[in-house]
Structure 1
Amino acid sequence: MADQDTDRGTSHDTAGQRLSTREAADRLGVKPETVYAYVSRGQLTSRREPGGRGSTFDVKQVDALARRGGRREPAASGGELAIRTSITLIDRDHCYFRGVDTSELAARYGYEEVAEWLWTGELHHGIRFTAPPDALAAARRAVQALPAHSGPMDRLRVALIAAAAADPLRFDLSETAVLDTARSLIPTLVDALPLQAPGQCDVQSLAPRLWSRLTSAPADVASLRVLDAALVLLIDHDLAASTLAVRVAASARAHPYAIVSAGFGALDGAVHGAASGLAHRMLLEVLERGSAAAVVADHLRAGRRVPGLGHRLYPGEDPRARALFRLLEDVPQARSALRAGREVITTTARHTELHANIDLALAVLTVSAGMPAEAGETIFAIARTAGWIAHALEEYAERPLRMRPSGQYTGPRPPCPLPS
């Protein structure tokens, strides 16, 4: 691939119909290396001009590929699908939203402010999301009809469906309509959950309203700061499983309620949204038994991973966990849970080098606040809804149904006889 270093200038033939590698890459919206990947896959044809310094490409062929591909990177090495996005970058133990460190955002701004900025590029200090009365009434009725043992995630799912049914204009996918839906859907989901601490006012920012639905413990300023920071830090995390599900649904032009429902579905797995619940239960056991060593030993003996440790995208500590741990140090009632979490980290480090992830930090928060084990997943789901909307807005601007992978058939070769 020596051409990559030399194709810097313009190289047209006499008819002006040839592009250099750099020009082809710019038209396609990809890196120069990707142009050569297209050539190797037979999607582009390159030509070296006599005496020229690099390959050239037919402009009509490049433009046709750009129209077909919707400015999408081809499959990455290892068969992974690569999707162009300007929302989140994870790099060297840091996470960035639109180029801004997420820890700095969480330290300076509230969830609603960051969500609005992520969607529109504009920061509105003190912005508050409010639920429309009709949608909220429908969501609350649906939630109240559930069995008493239903958890907060069960309630969120039915609240979402009820809110969608109450919105006859949900199929309007214009940017303005989608943003209006997002600003009303998130508070609808929160306010549809039953109050655990009666008397809370629903005109506050989102964090105290969510707090009062997850625990009856009083909310102090430091604790609410942790919860609000957690909501900001969890807004997005590149193309996690639930976000990929959202983008597939948006590619099929599903409405915003449906794309959030797709996210909820993928979030339900124990290795994704529910992972914080496993860490929550582990911390409770550590506090009950008074020993992290005994609990970690039980996990290792059973061949189970220790919850809340390790992340495939971070060789070191998850920066989101690091940010939350710093804030949790200012919460007096979190001291015992925080100590238990750190004992888990140091005990496990004797056997393998694993660092804390966001699930362990969430578990410290939920345990110290007397929240149920599902609370971490609920916080995750509410927070990530803003990120899913951001990804849906990106996907709505792409060619419809572009994410249609080809199946690799491994069944019996036809023709086969009819089953009897």
Structure 2
Amino acid sequence: MSDLAGERPSDISAGIRLTTREAAQLLGVKPATVYAYVSRGQLGSRRDAAGRGSTFDAREVEALARRSRREAAGPAGELAVRTALTLIEADRYFYRGVDAVELASRYAYEEVAEWLWTGSLPHGARFTAPPEALAAARRAVAALPDHGGPLDRLRVAVAAAAVVDPLRFDLSEEAVLGSARCLIPTLVGALPEAAPAVAPASVPASVSGDGDGDRDGDGDGRLARALWPRLTGREPDPAAVDALDLALALLVDHDLAASTLAVRVAASARAHPYAAVSAGLGVLEGPLHGAAGRLAHRMLAEVLERGGAAPVVAEHLRAGRRVPGLGHRLYRGEDPRARALFGRLEALPQAAAALGAARDVAAVTARHGLHANVDLALAVLTVSCGMTAEAGETVFAVARTAGWIAHALEEYRERPLRMRPSGHYTGPRPPRPLP
């Protein structure tokens, strides 16, 4: 039976052939996306009589348009979104079909971001913050109260960078990628530097707060190196910076997390990429999404202070709280991101104590069938490198910005406003008397 069975096309469209432009208008997509449907086997085409272009069966286009309108609702009403970015299965995850852990272990964060955005892997890719955007973002962040958190600063920095970008409303792939390559280093450069762990006179000039955020430190220009002094006052240890770079690359994307879904909804409404990233940051602020790293950091610090995990775990459970840093609904075993980051941290002498504490936590809770997730591994990094409890949120948000941009790019190619579910009204039936 044809996949069009049950979809009775109108007799009006029988035998009608549409041009590429007409098909694109009916589907609510760009002409290039129509050919993408053809290449994926979702739509047939044939040359017109003059041989100057392709034509499409109107009934087939109408059927595809109806399927596109329905596809946001998956089995049993669950939300399902078509994506070619990240696949999660069998305790592994893949970026565009490539093992994400292997990719992140061999390439820098910027290179992994480029792979997710474009499907190509430019060696030595680096991002540079435009001076005007960086200056505006720094002024905006500096105006916040001292008690503002990292996500407060990042949201303000995004808004400031958007205002100075006259091309932000251009949703072409080239323009969006150009904005992304500028936005991410701008976010990092706008963050204030951490208080130095030693006397200011001993801090190298290369780590001063006046850097551009893309040429700090050892000169390799990696985002991880620019982010380091925003997270800790300790001098940059190359091996520790490499671990931070790995964490960023591992966290680039993870399918449709709540913040990523918010980004796609914003992009579906054709919000510009800065606004889409702002939507993601807003959801990340929620205690059930972005706060996990902070909680894991504090728990790990307490385990180190008290000399063992058992009393700390017991107190969490007694208070009815879940133990942070453990379990993930998408993985039956250990989170592959945690496994990779733990492996890298084993090479850091300063991480030995925190690694031991994390393994103690996992051992105490083992009979509950819970395994370490990436928040616990990130907590080992932040605790062992003298970072604050909020540093994990910063790492997560900066890393995930690249993934949000990738999802926004995908959504810009889809029919506008396709993520418009219908409300299931449960209030009193009308008519009711006017109050």
- Normalised to the residue count of structure 2, the TM-score between the two structures is 0.82
Question: Contact 2:72/2:419 (CA < 8 Å) preserved in 1?
Answer: no
Distance in 1, matches of 2:309 and 2:279, equals 37
Question: What is the SS of the residue equivalent to 1:95?
Answer: strand
Question: What is the SS of the residue equivalent to 2:365?
Answer: helix
Distance in 2, matches of 1:63 and 1:120, equals 28
Q: Cα gap change, 1:347/1:92 in structure 2, threshold over 3 Å: closer, same or farther?
A: same
Match of 1:79 in 2: 77
Out of 227, 252, 260, the residue aligned to residue 277 of structure 2 is 260
CA deviation after TM superposition for structure 1 residue 74, in Å: 5.2
Match of 2:417 in 1: 401
Out of 107, 126, 129, the residue aligned to residue 128 of structure 1 is 126
Question: Contact 1:132/1:188 (CA < 8 Å) preserved in 2?
Answer: yes
Out of 148, 151, 159, the residue aligned to residue 149 of structure 2 is 151
CA deviation after TM superposition for structure 1 residue 61, in Å: 4.1
Out of 97, 113, 116, the residue aligned to residue 114 of structure 2 is 116
Question: Contact 2:284/2:290 (CA < 8 Å) preserved in 1?
Answer: yes
Question: Contact 2:291/2:393 (CA < 8 Å) preserved in 1?
Answer: yes
Distance in 2, matches of 1:344 and 1:269, equals 25
CA deviation after TM superposition for structure 1 residue 369, in Å: 1.0
CA deviation after TM superposition for structure 1 residue 69, in Å: 4.0
Number of equivalenced pairs? 373
1:229 maps onto 2:227 in alignment? no
Distance in 1, matches of 2:279 and 2:426, equals 28
Distance in 2, matches of 1:417 and 1:368, equals 65
CA deviation after TM superposition for structure 1 residue 168, in Å: 2.1
CA deviation after TM superposition for structure 1 residue 30, in Å: 8.9
CA deviation after TM superposition for structure 1 residue 116, in Å: 1.2
Distance in 2, matches of 1:291 and 1:126, equals 43
CA deviation after TM superposition for structure 1 residue 77, in Å: 2.2
Distance in 2, matches of 1:221 and 1:247, equals 36
1:100 maps onto 2:98 in alignment? yes
CA deviation after TM superposition for structure 1 residue 16, in Å: 9.6
Out of 311, 319, 329, the residue aligned to residue 336 of structure 2 is 319
CA deviation after TM superposition for structure 1 residue 90, in Å: 0.1
CA shift digits 1:261-296 (9 cap, x unpaired): 000011111221211111011001111111100000
Out of 305, 325, 336, the residue aligned to residue 353 of structure 2 is 336
Distance in 2, matches of 1:178 and 1:72, equals 28
1:391 maps onto 2:391 in alignment? no
Match of 1:278 in 2: 295
Question: Contact 1:287/1:340 (CA < 8 Å) preserved in 2?
Answer: yes
Distance in 1, matches of 2:169 and 2:98, equals 32
Question: What is the SS of the residue equivalent to 2:94?
Answer: strand
RMSD over aligned Cα, in angstroms? 2.2
Percent of aligned pairs with the same residue? 69
Query: After alignment, is 385-394 or 70-79 more displaced?
Result: 70-79
1:355 maps onto 2:336 in alignment? no
1:415 maps onto 2:431 in alignment? yes
Match of 1:47 in 2: none
Match of 1:238 in 2: 255
What is the letter of the counterpart of residue 109 of structure 2? Y
Question: Contact 1:69/1:402 (CA < 8 Å) preserved in 2?
Answer: no
CA deviation after TM superposition for structure 1 residue 106, in Å: 1.2
Match of 2:28 in 1: none
- In the alignment, structure 1 segments of 5+ residues that lack a partner are 8-14, 18-25, 32-58
- In the alignment, structure 2 segments of 5+ residues that lack a partner are 6-13, 17-36, 43-56, 197-202, 216-220
Question: What is the SS of the residue equivalent to 1:89?
Answer: strand
Query: After alignment, is 189-198 or 407-416 more displaced?
Result: 189-198
- Normalised to the residue count of structure 1, the TM-score between the two structures is 0.85
Question: Contact 1:28/1:66 (CA < 8 Å) preserved in 2?
Answer: no
